[in-house]
Structure 1
């Protein structure tokens, strides 16, 4: 409740400051910096309001810990399987552990980097908006206050805030998306190519951005706004990183596609599209104010057909941002959406829409065809009045409402935090109870597997970190989402032969004595009570070693064995 009040208070202070001092924010740099400082505070408090390290992040952390400890980019020691799709993020969070010789800093590093990247995105939204408007009017009124509004909308957007402190790569991908757009806006093709390569190495959706960027350079060359050499420079910048990285991946893992990407595309098209449509529809409903802002701003731009060459260049960047947002949405839709709350896979979209809305409106206000200068003169007072900041800060307030009341936002993230904490406790129990080299199987390869430690071999029954299951297993749809995984219980039970199988993803309030038929022949159920709580955890233990395994697990002071009837 305290963080909620602080976040709302930060928004109220920012809104009052921007609305009251809007003319000075446009006129004086010091006032803009003060507004940006308040915006960064809003972003920080908004991120801390969520403050959830997602369970999925621990898959990357396990890889990063093995890198830091000298075992290489592996999930289990000696098993070279690409169970991640965020290479750059994994390396970044592993570096401090490798440098300082302490892998415990990995989680802290990921959280701090995520928060910093989200704050950086707020600043880049400000810079990008003002840069676009300045291209159109290099000697005219730039109205830099519009950049402050773009930054405020970015700070208030629920998705970037939710994943700022999550330990996942989403904040870095948003930052790289904005950096890519700013590089193109500044005419730096090589930098744009290098940035898009870094984005591809952070998220698979970076491939969509790379193709859109190349198409933009080609179109610009066709319209004689840029030379063909710009497209070549863009490709060269991307190739400098992507070619050696791809060669390295093929050498280490023997496959072009990581398991995570492969499993997503093995399911039916109809199932993916249906679930992806629901995912995008829910996102659009939550962000309808952002969508309406962008649509209205673009409609204003389209009312003016004949513009100068400078304005045309600025508009082309706005259209690039629109296409990037649409392309990203389509990619996520076709992939079937995602299962994590607050629409993680669409994190760059609200930020792009915020910049589109403010920059396009700025172009409408400060520019006009040569034969219609009076229109622009009438428009400038509108943006210098208080209508625009009032509308923008009100949209920020609506975003905070989405954070606090939408069942798929703050409540869902806090549920995720609770579940991750419970799984981590189970992982520590297994680590402290079982001898080194013990093989366990589970579908929760996140916080439980991370806390189980590198001495425990973890088999992912859904194949994310197992080569055979991912590529040879049977595709299956995960719950009600459009996300597909793979499974091969015969391989798990008979070939990997785990000593312990953990079926439940976290604690249960009732004792579970049933057993998955796939394990029934060779395993038996062992139920344990979590001391001092109403919680239970049931595992399957290999029948031939059942008595010894139960004795080891029961010896832990926090878990008490209770035999099933």
Structure 2
């Protein structure tokens, strides 16, 4: 609650500075940088409000830990299964693990890189907005204050802030998205190609960005704004990374698509589209102020015709932002959305809309008729820039932008799929991590366990424990040959094959719970009945319990091993 209060105070201070100092922010670099510094503080505090290392991140961390330890990019040592879809992120967080044996280093690296990437998004939103406005008016004074507003809206975007300190790749993906936009705006085709390749190596949805970027270069060439070779240079830049990476993946994993993608695209198309629609609809309701801002911006773009070439170039870039946002939303919609809160999969969209809306106002100012006095030899302003000064000085724009920021912060606090849902994730991940450490200290190396909680529990259990994912994310057979199963959220599918798990993988211990329970649970999943029995343990000095299934043939021995831990006491269900 303290961090939440500090975040709202930071927003209020920034709002006061932007509204009162708006003319100076546009005119003086010191004011502008001071406002940008306050914006970075707002972003940092907003991320700390969530401050939850998501369970999903630990899957990547386990791959990174094995890679750093010399076992290769594997989940279980010796099992080459691509159970991640964020290769670049996995590679980055693995680097510190090569010089430290502390497993906490990898987790800390993921958190620090995520926070730094989110702060980088704030700075890039500032730079990209101002670059677009400068593109529309190359010789003019520009409106650098609009970049600060875009940065503030980015800092307040809940789907970015929620995953800053989460350990997942979302902030890096947004950062690469903005870098791609900046490269395309600057006409740097090779840089854009390399950037989109890095984005694809971070999230598979970036394939849509790759297609949009190529189409944009082709359209620009047709209209004579870019050389025809730009599209070729763009493809070459992308191929430099994507071709060897794809060859490596086919060599190591022997499949083009990772397990996560395969399992998500199983099942009914109608259910998946319905789920995706619900996911996107929930996002639109939570971000309706941003959506309204985008609608106004698009309306402005549709009404600005017959403009000078410089303005047309800026207008083209803004249409590019629209295409990227719409394309990404469409990709998430057809894939059925996602299970994680705060619309993680759509995290680039609010930032793109923030840049689009603020840049559109800059276009409005540049293209507004200037009521100039008759020109004279002493006229220092032949283009009528001073006549547009009221539009530049008007404080309505910063007021509206900061109201939108405030509304986004309110969404963070009150929306059930925002902070409350992340708090639940934090509780579950913390408890599963403790269970994983219990397994790590109690079970001998090589023990096989099965669970659908493949994140914190598996990471803390350590590489020496073999973890079977009953939903197939990290198991080749289940993901590709298992039966599709719809999750609680309609249209989001996983795979399962309990007969394979129980009889072929034959785990010694299985666990179904997503954390501790508040009472002793003695029921058993029918899939394990017969070959397994329930072993219930009380968490000492707490009201919590945890139940596991142990293989009957070794039940007595396994219970003795688990009961030796001082924090967990076996209590018979009989």
Query: TM tier, shorter chain?
Result: over 0.9
Instruction: Supply the distance in 1 between the matched residues of 2:54 and 2:285 (Cα, whole angstroms).
Output: 24
DSSP-derived class of the 1:416 partner: helix
CA drift of 1:434 comes to 0.6
- Normalised by the length of structure 2, the TM-score is 0.96
Instruction: Supply the distance in 2 between the matched residues of 1:375 and 1:531 (Cα, whole angstroms).
Output: 76
DSSP-derived class of the 2:55 partner: coil
Instruction: Supply the distance in 2 between the matched residues of 1:126 and 1:408 (Cα, whole angstroms).
Output: 28
DSSP-derived class of the 1:73 partner: coil
Instruction: Supply the distance in 1 between the matched residues of 2:212 and 2:384 (Cα, whole angstroms).
Output: 34
Instruction: Supply the distance in 2 between the matched residues of 1:371 and 1:2 (Cα, whole angstroms).
Output: 51
State whether residues 54 and 168 of structure 1, in contact with CA within 8 Å, keep that contact through their aligned partners in structure 2. yes
DSSP-derived class of the 1:193 partner: helix
DSSP-derived class of the 1:518 partner: coil
Task: Establish whether residue 462 from structure 1 lines up as the match of residue 471 from structure 2.
Answer: yes
State whether residues 308 and 369 of structure 1, in contact with CA within 8 Å, keep that contact through their aligned partners in structure 2. no
What is residue 496 of structure 1 aligned with on the other side?
505
CA drift of 1:30 comes to 1.2
**TM-superposition CA deviations, 1:142-194 (whole Å, max 9, x none):** 11100000000000111100000000000000000000000011110000000
Instruction: Supply the distance in 1 between the matched residues of 2:539 and 2:417 (Cα, whole angstroms).
Output: 29
Instruction: Supply the distance in 1 between the matched residues of 2:383 and 2:299 (Cα, whole angstroms).
Output: 20
DSSP-derived class of the 2:99 partner: helix
What is residue 400 of structure 1 aligned with on the other side?
409
CA drift of 1:79 comes to 0.3
What is residue 389 of structure 1 aligned with on the other side?
398
Instruction: Supply the distance in 2 between the matched residues of 1:186 and 1:99 (Cα, whole angstroms).
Output: 38
Structure 1 residue corresponding to 2:568, chosen from 540, 559, 565: 559
**TM-superposition CA deviations, 1:245-293 (whole Å, max 9, x none):** 0000000000000000010101211111111111111100000001111
What is residue 2 of structure 2 aligned with on the other side?
2
Task: Establish whether residue 59 from structure 1 lines up as the match of residue 76 from structure 2.
Answer: no
CA drift of 1:103 comes to 3.8
State whether residues 129 and 146 of structure 2, in contact with CA within 8 Å, keep that contact through their aligned partners in structure 1. yes
CA drift of 1:300 comes to 2.1
What is residue 265 of structure 1 aligned with on the other side?
265
Name which of structure 1's ranges 238-247 and 139-148 shifts more when overlaid on structure 2: 139-148
- Normalised by the length of structure 1, the TM-score is 0.98
**TM-superposition CA deviations, 1:32-72 (whole Å, max 9, x none):** 10000000000000001110000000000000000111110
Structure 2 residue corresponding to 1:448, chosen from 441, 449, 457: 457
DSSP-derived class of the 2:494 partner: strand
Instruction: Supply the distance in 1 between the matched residues of 2:317 and 2:300 (Cα, whole angstroms).
Output: 16
State whether residues 124 and 178 of structure 1, in contact with CA within 8 Å, keep that contact through their aligned partners in structure 2. yes
CA drift of 1:375 comes to 10
Task: Establish whether residue 99 from structure 1 lines up as the match of residue 99 from structure 2.
Answer: yes
Instruction: Supply the distance in 2 between the matched residues of 1:187 and 1:511 (Cα, whole angstroms).
Output: 63
Instruction: Supply the distance in 1 between the matched residues of 2:240 and 2:155 (Cα, whole angstroms).
Output: 33
State whether residues 511 and 537 of structure 1, in contact with CA within 8 Å, keep that contact through their aligned partners in structure 2. yes
Name which of structure 1's ranges 510-519 and 360-369 shifts more when overlaid on structure 2: 360-369
Gaps of 5+ in 1: none
Task: Establish whether residue 339 from structure 1 lines up as the match of residue 348 from structure 2.
Answer: no
**TM-superposition CA deviations, 1:355-412 (whole Å, max 9, x none):** 0000011111112589999999776513421111111111111111111111111111
State whether residues 68 and 101 of structure 1, in contact with CA within 8 Å, keep that contact through their aligned partners in structure 2. no
State whether residues 51 and 162 of structure 2, in contact with CA within 8 Å, keep that contact through their aligned partners in structure 1. yes
CA drift of 1:481 comes to 4.2
Task: Establish whether residue 520 from structure 1 lines up as the match of residue 529 from structure 2.
Answer: yes
What is residue 239 of structure 2 aligned with on the other side?
239
What is residue 173 of structure 2 aligned with on the other side?
173
Question: Would the alpha carbon gap of residues 473 and 506 (structure 1) be closer, same or farther in structure 2, given more than 3 Å must change?
Answer: same
Name which of structure 1's ranges 14-23 and 369-378 shifts more when overlaid on structure 2: 369-378
CA drift of 1:305 comes to 1.3
State whether residues 97 and 104 of structure 1, in contact with CA within 8 Å, keep that contact through their aligned partners in structure 2. no
Instruction: Supply the distance in 1 between the matched residues of 2:102 and 2:461 (Cα, whole angstroms).
Output: 17
- Equivalent residue runs for 1:208-223 within 5 Å: 208-223=208-223
Instruction: Supply the distance in 2 between the matched residues of 1:293 and 1:96 (Cα, whole angstroms).
Output: 41
State whether residues 157 and 399 of structure 1, in contact with CA within 8 Å, keep that contact through their aligned partners in structure 2. yes
Number of equivalenced pairs? 565
Instruction: Supply the distance in 1 between the matched residues of 2:415 and 2:81 (Cα, whole angstroms).
Output: 37
Gaps of 5+ in 2: 373-381
Name which of structure 1's ranges 308-317 and 372-381 shifts more when overlaid on structure 2: 372-381
Instruction: Supply the distance in 1 between the matched residues of 2:89 and 2:200 (Cα, whole angstroms).
Output: 11
**TM-superposition CA deviations, 1:13-47 (whole Å, max 9, x none):** 10000101100000011111000000000000000
**TM-superposition CA deviations, 1:450-498 (whole Å, max 9, x none):** 0000110000000000000000000001112432110000100000000
Instruction: Supply the distance in 1 between the matched residues of 2:426 and 2:552 (Cα, whole angstroms).
Output: 34
Instruction: Supply the distance in 2 between the matched residues of 1:326 and 1:171 (Cα, whole angstroms).
Output: 19
Instruction: Supply the distance in 2 between the matched residues of 1:377 and 1:552 (Cα, whole angstroms).
Output: 80
What is residue 147 of structure 1 aligned with on the other side?
147
What is residue 375 of structure 2 aligned with on the other side?
none
What is residue 348 of structure 1 aligned with on the other side?
348
- Equivalent residue runs for 1:285-300 within 5 Å: 285-300=285-300
Name which of structure 1's ranges 503-512 and 280-289 shifts more when overlaid on structure 2: 503-512
RMSD: 1.6
State whether residues 26 and 32 of structure 1, in contact with CA within 8 Å, keep that contact through their aligned partners in structure 2. yes
DSSP-derived class of the 2:238 partner: helix
Instruction: Supply the distance in 1 between the matched residues of 2:289 and 2:77 (Cα, whole angstroms).
Output: 48
Question: Would the alpha carbon gap of residues 100 and 452 (structure 1) be closer, same or farther in structure 2, given more than 3 Å must change?
Answer: closer
DSSP-derived class of the 2:214 partner: helix
DSSP-derived class of the 1:507 partner: coil
What is residue 473 of structure 1 aligned with on the other side?
482
CA drift of 1:227 comes to 1.3
DSSP-derived class of the 1:114 partner: helix
DSSP-derived class of the 1:154 partner: helix
What is residue 313 of structure 2 aligned with on the other side?
313
Question: Would the alpha carbon gap of residues 20 and 358 (structure 1) be closer, same or farther in structure 2, given more than 3 Å must change?
Answer: same
- Equivalent residue runs for 1:60-99 within 5 Å: 60-99=60-99
CA drift of 1:298 comes to 2.2
Instruction: Supply the distance in 1 between the matched residues of 2:66 and 2:222 (Cα, whole angstroms).
Output: 49
State whether residues 370 and 385 of structure 2, in contact with CA within 8 Å, keep that contact through their aligned partners in structure 1. no
Instruction: Supply the distance in 2 between the matched residues of 1:380 and 1:404 (Cα, whole angstroms).
Output: 38
Name which of structure 1's ranges 293-302 and 155-164 shifts more when overlaid on structure 2: 293-302
Instruction: Supply the distance in 2 between the matched residues of 1:531 and 1:378 (Cα, whole angstroms).
Output: 74
What is residue 158 of structure 2 aligned with on the other side?
158
What is residue 189 of structure 1 aligned with on the other side?
189
State whether residues 137 and 367 of structure 1, in contact with CA within 8 Å, keep that contact through their aligned partners in structure 2. no
State whether residues 208 and 328 of structure 1, in contact with CA within 8 Å, keep that contact through their aligned partners in structure 2. yes
